[in-house]
Amino acid sequence: MASEARGLGVRQFKAILRKDIVMELRTKEMITSMGIYALLTMVIYQVALSQSGTAFDPRNIAAGLLWLAFVFTSMLGLNRSLVHEKDQGCLEALLLSPVDRPVIFFSKAVGNLVFLLIVQVLTIPVFAFLFLQEGSYAGEWWMIPLALLAGSVGISGVGTLLATMSVNTKGKDFVLAVLFVPLMYPLLLAAVSATSAAVLGGDGSVQQFWTGMGMMAGFDAIMLLASFALYEFIVGA
Amino acid sequence: MAASSARSGLTGRSMTEPATIYAAVEVRDLTRTFGARKALDRVSFDLPTGAFLSVFGPNGAGKTTLVKVLTTLTAPSKGTARVSGFDVVADAVELRSRIGLISHNPLLYPDLSAEENLAFFADMYGVADAGTRVRELLVAVELDHRRLDLVRTFSRGMLQRLSIARALLHGPEVLFLDEPYSGLDPHAVEILDSLIEQIRANHTFVMISHDLNKGLALCSHALILAKGKVVLSAPRTEIDENQFAATYRATVGMGVA
């Protein structure tokens, strides 16, 4: 009986994830809007820093700029992922089916993670071109993707929960931002620290990187467990 | 119309399956509040298995809230409700696999094809041999020739037929119809009538309607709600149409709950 229920849960998880990916590949709404938004943000950073002079090294704030762009970009995408469900009452149809609510949460969160990672893969080269001159990247190459993955897991998990909370509210964009930014604050600090260590390198950078990674892993675990526990209540509210 | 086999194309259940003996819907003192407003106020009624209940009432009477509670989408504030023998709160997950909802909203993904939509919901309900079942239903609702087309290209009538197929995928025992005729042209109404007629014998129905004639023509039981309270509840055989219409008209002036 338990294995049957687990089998159905896996089937439902795959179905929701596949459906979201197929719909996104068809409409390209999320990836296009998120990708363009991220690129525009980076261009604006570049313009803002254009008069900073030669003494200023943009590498010192590169990690912060990168995560700022991804936080704003993900808020845009997170809202859209639930609006799709809301259209035509599809969220109601999903909730009518005998699916455990955490299955909906995990499938939506993994979908959002996939889309965010795709946007990151597309925008990181542009970021490197604008802010990291040739030979200026001092860390180990594998540090950046690892830091991006750990930060993105937290953004997708917490963001999916908050987007579900805000989707039924009037000013959903505003509500999501107001809830999202304060909750993500510890994760952002850790993500910026780990990414900075990767970009700047130097003495103690490996330790700084792993400290940041440890904090992100802790945040991800706590927030994912909390989201798992709260999702049933939130979708039923 | 096609499809009538050992496992009926529309019902999805064996034609020899024994009839269940419990009341299909049992509602006791059901109350649902939103802030200070009572959308449902101590609503009680029973509906036997195989019956067709038409629920009437003015806008804001609590009809949609009643369906939302009975379909587990909204929890009651007080009182109890059982559908197919399952409590809407304690047994919500089991209950969801035994009910279907056809709404004026199609509850379908516009950017998926008809076949993809049904396949998705087949996965959600754990339908065995999903491919065959999906094809069977597409034939039954006469949409097999459009199975690969995106749902956003469908007319209102086609959407409603596909919505019926979605609601019947898992062979539900009780079907909830929330103003299913809303916005349909006469031809689509005929098709919907015919589909309901085909599945009538194997299901219990709860239908919300603003159309007195249509609702009374279909039902075996009728209920009028106003301000969240039951104003009238009776089997169709005990209803005098003129008196019923007068009662209904009186409720329209009563305002919202």
Instruction: Using the predicted structure, report yes or no on whether residue B19 has a pLDDT greater than 80.
Output: no
C-alpha–C-alpha distance, residues A109 and A167, integer Å = 15
Residue A237 is predicted with a pLDDT of 52
Residue A202 pLDDT level (bands cut at 50, 70, 90): confident
- Identify the bridge partners of residue B87 per DSSP, sorted by sequence position: B82
Asked if A15 and B124 come within 8 Å (Cβ–Cβ), the reply is yes
What average pLDDT score do residues B115-133 get? 96
As a whole number, mean pLDDT of residues A20-34 equals 91
Q: Is the pLDDT of residue A175 over 90?
A: no
Residues of B in contact with A94 (CB under 8 A): 124
pLDDT band at A135 (very low <50, low <70, confident <90, very high): low
Q: Whose structure tokens read 């989408």?
A: B73
Tokens representing B194 are 């015919």
Dist. CA B58–CA B64, nearest whole Å? 11
What are the start-end ranges of the H helices in chain B? 63-70, 92-96, 114-125, 130-140, 156-168, 186-199, 212-218, 241-252
- The confidence score (pLDDT) of residue A165 equals 86
Question: Would the pLDDT of A215 be above 50?
Answer: yes
The stretch B234-247 carries a mean pLDDT of: 89
Instruction: For residue range B198-220, list pLDDT tens digits in order.
Output: 888 889 999 999 888 899 999 99
| Res A85: pLDDT | 82
Closest CB to B125 among A84, A92, A98? A98
Rounded mean pLDDT, A185-201: 92
Contact call for residues B51 and B205 (beta carbons, < 8 A): yes
Q: What is the pLDDT of residues B58-114, one digit of tens each?
A: 988 999 999 999 999 999 999 999 999 999 999 998 999 999 999 888 899 999 999
CB contact under 8 A, B107 and A15: no
Residue A230 reports pLDDT greater than 70 = yes
Judged by a CB distance cut-off of 8 A, whether residue A97 touches chain B is yes
Which of chain B's residues have a Cβ under 8 Å away from the Cβ of A89?
A: 103, 105-107
Residue A57 has pLDDT above 90, yes or no: no
Q: Taking CB atoms and an 8 Å limit, are A96 and B99 in contact across chains?
A: yes
Residues A108-121, mean pLDDT to the nearest whole number: 94
H and E: helices and strands count for chain A: 8, 0
Q: From CA B43, how far away is CA B31, in angstroms rounded?
A: 7
Cβ–Cβ under 8 Å, residues B96 and B72: yes
Secondary structure, 3-state, B206-257:
EEECCCHHHHHHHCCEEEEEECCEEEEEEEHHHCCHHHHHHHHHHHHCCCCC
pLDDT of residue A6: 77
pLDDT at residue B63 in the model: 94
pLDDT at res. A59: 83
The ipTM is 0.86
CB atoms under 10 Å from CB of A158, counted, come to 25
Which residues in chain A touch residue B107, judged by CB atoms under 8 angstroms apart? 88-90, 92-93, 96
Mean pLDDT over A80-101 rounds to 85
Whether pLDDT at A136 is above 70: no
Q: Give me the residue label for tokens 């009341």.
A: B23
How sure is the predictor about B2, in pLDDT bands with cuts at 50, 70 and 90? very low
pLDDT band, very low/low/confident/very high, at B165 (cuts 50, 70, 90): very high
Distance, CA of B192 to CA of B163 (rounded, Å): 11
C-alpha–C-alpha distance, residues B172 and B72, integer Å: 15
Q: pLDDT (tens digit, 9 = 90+) per residue, B169-196?
A: 999 999 999 998 887 778 778 888 888 8
Comparing A19 with B21, the larger pLDDT belongs to: A19
pLDDT band at A137 (very low <50, low <70, confident <90, very high): low
- Mutation site, A25, A80, A84, A88, interface B, largest B CB count within 10 A: A88
> Touching check for A234 and chain B: CB below 8 Å?
no
d(C-alpha B202, C-alpha B51), whole Å:
10
Beta bridge partners of B55: B208, B223
Give me the pLDDT at residue B254, please.
Answer: 59
Distance from CA of B28 to the nearest CA of A (A): 22
- The pLDDT of residue A234 is 83
Question: Which of A23, A89, A236 is the closest to B107 by Cβ?
Answer: A89
pLDDT of B239 higher than 50: yes
Model pTM score = 0.86
Predicted confidence band of residue B21 (pLDDT cuts 50, 70, 90): low
